[in-house]
């Protein structure tokens, strides 16, 4: 897919961890040749405000294109609209279940369904703990369908000093998965143990 900006769909759902979606959008803004498409679920609006203090309009301002969660007629609801990847950050267990079972009753689930049917990259940053058997089976199903289940588990080999360090590292790893590399040291490469 050349000759156009790389289109990345970002969906933010109501699970805790809204900061991951926000930081992903902020990072995508800094990358040349990237066009971000945003969908925020109704539940995410509450979580965003509670966890980050941001209003819907603040988050929407971070994206190039904003789609309403109930607009299943949006461009990203069709496979003929070329996109490169989709990240659901964070991904609630409700959204995971909808994706796993093809319940495309809102734009987040429909856009994810499109990614799977078109064999495009889909990353779900699932947020829940502990997992019950339904969660695990749904994660297995999405993985078998070609999606990538990426719980935002922190890494410590880069010796993070702040929560921002943890979030930045996780987002950088997600960007690696969708083929976008960021400058800087947010996700230092593992070069093995010295010794």
Instruction: Please indicate if the annotation marks 47 as binding a ligand.
Output: no
Which backbone phi and psi does 7 adopt, to 5 degrees? -95, 120
Instruction: Please indicate if the annotation marks 1 as binding a ligand.
Output: no
Tens of pLDDT, residues 44-55: 999 999 999 999
CATH number of the domain that 66 lies in?
A: 3.40.50.1950
Which residues on adjacent β-strands are paired with residue 177?
none
Question: CA torsion sign, 16 to 18 to 20 to 21?
Answer: positive
Tens of pLDDT, residues 124-174: 999 999 999 999 999 999 999 999 999 999 989 889 999 999 999 999 999
Question: CA torsion sign, 169 to 173 to 176 to 180?
Answer: negative
In a domain, 91, yes or no: yes
The first and second tokens of residue 58, run together, are 């603040």
Instruction: Please indicate if the annotation marks 95 as binding a ligand.
Output: yes
Instruction: Please indicate if the annotation marks 127 as binding a ligand.
Output: yes
pTM (2 d.p.): 0.95
Tens of pLDDT, residues 81-98: 999 999 999 999 999 999
Instruction: Please indicate if the annotation marks 53 as binding a ligand.
Output: no
How many structural domains comprise the chain? Answer: 1
In a domain, 145, yes or no: yes
């Amino acid at each position: 897919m050349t000759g156009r900006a790389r289109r990345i769909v970002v969906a933010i759902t109501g699970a805790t961890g809204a900061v991951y979606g926000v930081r992903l959008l902020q990072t995508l803004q800094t990358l040349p040749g990237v066009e971000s498409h945003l969908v925020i679920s109704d539940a995410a609006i509450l979580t965003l405000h509670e966890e980050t203090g941001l209003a819907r309009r603040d988050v929407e301002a971070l994206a190039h294109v904003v789609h309403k969660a109930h607009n299943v007629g949006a461009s990203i609801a069709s496979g003929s609209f070329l996109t490169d990847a989709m990240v659901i950050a964070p991904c609630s267990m409700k959204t995971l279940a909808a994706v796993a079972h093809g319940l495309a009753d809102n734009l987040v689930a429909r856009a994810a369904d499109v990614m799977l049917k078109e064999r495009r990259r889909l990353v779900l940053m699932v947020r829940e703990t502990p997992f019950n058997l339904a969660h695990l089976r749904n994660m297995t199903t999405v993985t078998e369908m070609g999606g990538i289940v990426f719980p935002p588990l922190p890494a410590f080999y880069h010796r993070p000093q702040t929560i921002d360090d943890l979030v930045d590292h996780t987002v950088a790893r997600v960007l690696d998965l969708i083929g976008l590399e960021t400058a800087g040291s947010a996700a230092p490469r593992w070069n093995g143990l010295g010794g």
